[in-house]
Amino acid sequence: MSYRPKFHLSAPQGRLNDPNGMTLIGDELHVFYQHDPVFPHAPKRTGWGHAVTTLGDGTWRHFPDALYPGMPYDENGCYSGSAVVHEGRMRLFYTGNVKREGVRFTSQNIVDVEDLQGPMGGVYRRRPNNPVIDGSPEGYTAHFRDPHVSFDPDTGTWRMVIGAQREQETGAAVLYTSPDLDNWEFAGEIEMIGLNYNVASAYMWECPNLLRMRDLTRGEDFDVLVFCPQFPDSDQCGYIVGRLQGLRFEVLTDFTPLDYGHEFYAPQLVPFGQGALMLGWMGLPGRDETPSLESEGWVHQLTLPRELSLIDGSLHTSLLLPQQSDGMVVARHELGAEPWSAELVDTSGSIGATLKWQPSAHGSHTLSLAVNGLMRWAHCDAGELVFTADGAAVELTAGGGEVAFSSAVFPQDGHEWKELRVN
């Protein structure tokens, strides 16, 4: 049996990482992703892969790669970015990466897309005036990347948030604005009011997403900033909730992890209803040695699409499961007042992961997921647990979506997952 999941997006070959350019057109979800098709057999040259799924179906159709390095401003990589469809036109925004004699140069670039629904999945034309943002503003290093573009409902214009590193080697998010999606002006750095010191001290903030969402409990709109603060010994990913006025972001919900599992990074969000739709990379920087790479030539996968809802200042997660989930283990359990545990078992009888629920009389309940002796845990309320195992991809939500876990878990060679066995 293959390690490849049936319903989680993985690259046909080579290395996959960050989801890029998520676009929802009707019920069709287009997902671009960082793709190095010849990894690990040649020097790294990352472009953008492209696949599409119909929500509820769960299967993916792959198209030829949309972008591949080749211009003077992206010769060492077409790095992460986003997509916007406006007035019937799709634009991709991405970071061009260049390394010369050990020195990094970055730029932000635009690609016009035609015939997205065609048999090749689009025709992609880089703007002749690229880069539209050449380099970084004064006070920031060349670690300046991952543009996420969204509409600003307060001004009726467009805003681009970029992950940045100050010259003092601390992370930040900066804003550019545009009246037309073509011409961009530097507005400045987002000033965080009330952000905890540890997150503020990270050496880089990657993959920012800035969206306006309706809090379903409070009946008010709030700004949600998702980003990935990097530290010398860890890579984190989470969100803050508050209000952005100009460049001042008043933090009302401090930095909170989006996922508590072993592999989750660089998510991308698009508006969906009153909340958002999200996919995340089930991987981490620098962790590419997996059984699937050696035996099948591919590494890493994306999460299932997830619906995010803002409830009383916190993001809650719902997995969008395929309507027909044959080939995937799906289990549900109501976590309550009694301790509970279960094991993910493959057809050889081997255990791939262990789940444990430990309720507390004081209300500080704990859910843990252990894989290969490494445990991840989170506090959450009692409520429904939804568990999935699909090839090498394990995902779960608990506490009615209060927490989520994503982990790459590989069955024994030649076997597949059989069941979540309750102890």
Distance from chain centroid for Cα 27? 20
Whether 395 contacts 331, CB under 8 Å: no
Cα-based distances in Å from 327 to 58, 59, 150, 342:
12, 12, 37, 20
Of 96, 107, 91, 110, give the one whose Cα is nearest residue 45.
Answer: 96
Whether 173 contacts 163, CB under 8 Å: yes
Q: Which residues sit opposite 176 in a β-bridge?
A: 160, 186
The answer to whether the Cα torsion of 73, 77, 81, 87 is positive or negative is positive
User: Distance between CA atoms of 208 and 81, rounded to whole angstroms?
Assistant: 10
Residue 215 among the catalytic residues: no
User: Distance between CA atoms of 81 and 107, rounded to whole angstroms?
Assistant: 11
Regarding beta strands 157-166 and 28-36, do their DSSP bridges make them parallel or antiparallel, or are they unpaired? unpaired
Q: What is the DSSP letter of 155?
A: T
Q: Which residues sit opposite 123 in a β-bridge?
A: 114
Of 34, 56, 46, give the one whose Cα is nearest residue 280.
Answer: 34
Which alpha helices (DSSP H) does 93-164 contain, by range?
Answer: none
Residue given tokens 């860890």 in the structure block:
234
Q: What share of the chain is helix, strand, coil (3-state, %, to 5)?
A: 0, 60, 40
Whether 319 contacts 386, CB under 8 Å: yes
The answer to whether the Cα torsion of 254, 260, 264, 267 is positive or negative is negative
User: Distance between CA atoms of 260 and 48, rounded to whole angstroms?
Assistant: 27
Could you check whether the bond before residue 40 is cis, i.e. omega within 30 degrees of 0? yes
Residue given tokens 């048999």 in the structure block:
119
Catalytic residue among 18, 65, 259, 390: 18
Non-local CB neighbours of 394 within 8 Å, separated by 6+ positions? 261, 344, 352, 353, 369, 371, 387, 388, 405, 406, 407, 408, 409
Amino acid at the residue 69: P
What is the set of active-site residues? 18
